Chains A and B, each alone.
Chain A
Amino acid sequence: RKEVEQDPGPFNVPEGATVAFNCTYSNSASQSFFWYRQDCRKEPKLLMSVYSSGNEDGRFTAQLNRASQYISLLIRDSKLSDSATYLCVVIHNTDKLIFGTGTRLQVFP
């Protein structure tokens, strides 16, 4: 089983839609959680950290459920520019980033 699992998608949604991605992780000792965004053939860029209490940054909301070991990302009012691959990232006590395979989002006009 992969340490961090995501639905690869693609999720095809119209502009203005709300879309949610989930991610599950297997290591209960995982300490830090992030969502990264990766555009085609580019390096990943940090979208947001994920805190236990849940956190919001504009149109993006991230939530963490430690008991069930999953993380979610909600994108409201999707824009064309949101089209990308969203990577779930987990860190445990080794300080190494462990990446999920990513979920591809395509927003269409």
Chain B
Amino acid sequence: GAVVSQHPSRVICKSGTSVKIECRSLDFQATTMFWYRQFPKQSLMLMATSNEGSKATYEQGVEKDKFLINHASLTLSTLTVTSAHPEDSSFYICSARVYLGTVYGYTFGSGTRLTVV
């Protein structure tokens, strides 16, 4: 249980275009989702926290107008990279917090590898 499906797994886009990444919780309701970015040989860096029905909370240094997050339902959160540039090429991963009865757990999507050319 507690599966998060992330699509696409890999995308190549031209500089200046926008790319949308979707994360769906398949068998549970995800009130809170987290979006991470990971550059090669670096750690996962939290970009933003999205809560269903409200505006996302962005980490310091992350441009909210460039990385648009929508969490309109309890099973879907999307990240749109607008006007993508080569420096946005990275591995993007979503994570959902799931209540396990007594504690919270975190389940991850399989990641999206974005290459901007």
A contact set with B: CB distance below 8 Å: 4, 8, 41-46, 87, 95-102
B116 within 8 A of A: no
Residues in A whose Cβ lies below 8 Å from that of B108:
43-45
Residues of B within 8 A of A101 (CB): 41-43
Interchain CB contact under 8 A, A44 and B44: yes
Closest to A45 in B: B108
Contact between chains at A96 and B43 (CB < 8 Å): no
Interface residues of B in 27-49 (CB under 8 A from A): 32, 34, 36, 41-46, 49
Task: Report whether over half of chain A's contact residues are helix, strand or loop; otherwise say mixed.
Answer: loop
Q: Is the CB of A97 within 8 A of B93?
A: no
**Interface pair A43/B43, CB less than 8 Å apart:** no
Q: Indicate with 1 or 0, residue by residue over B9-33, a CB within 8 angstroms of chain A CB atoms.
A: 0000000000000000000000010
Q: In the complex the two chains form, is A42's CB within 8 Å of B110's CB?
A: yes
List, in ascending order, chain B residues with CB within 8 A of A4's CB: 43
Total A-B pairs in contact (CB under 8 Å)? 41
Q: How far is the CA of A25 from the CA of B43 in the complex (A)?
A: 14
* Complex-state Cα separation, A8 to B109, whole angstroms: 24
Contact of B97 among A43, A46, A95 (CB under 8 A): A95
A99 contacts B105, CB within 8 Å? no
Which partner residue on chain B sits nearest A34 by CB separation? B106
Across the interface, do B109 and A97 meet the contact criterion of CB distance under 8 Å? no
Interface contact A43-B111, CB-CB below 8 Å: yes
| Residues of A with C-beta under 8 A to B111 | 41-43
Docked complex Cα distance between A83 and B54 (Å): 41
CB atoms of B91 and A41 under 8 A apart: yes
A102 contact from B32, B43, B95, B97, Cβ within 8 A: B43
Give the Cβ gap from B94 to chain A, nearest Cβ, in Å.
9
B113 within 8 A of A: yes
Given contacts A43-B108, A95-B32, A98-B46, 13 further A-B contacts (CB under 8 A): A4-B43, A42-B111, A43-B109, A44-B44, A46-B105, A46-B106, A87-B44, A96-B46, A97-B106, A99-B45, A101-B42, A101-B43, A102-B43
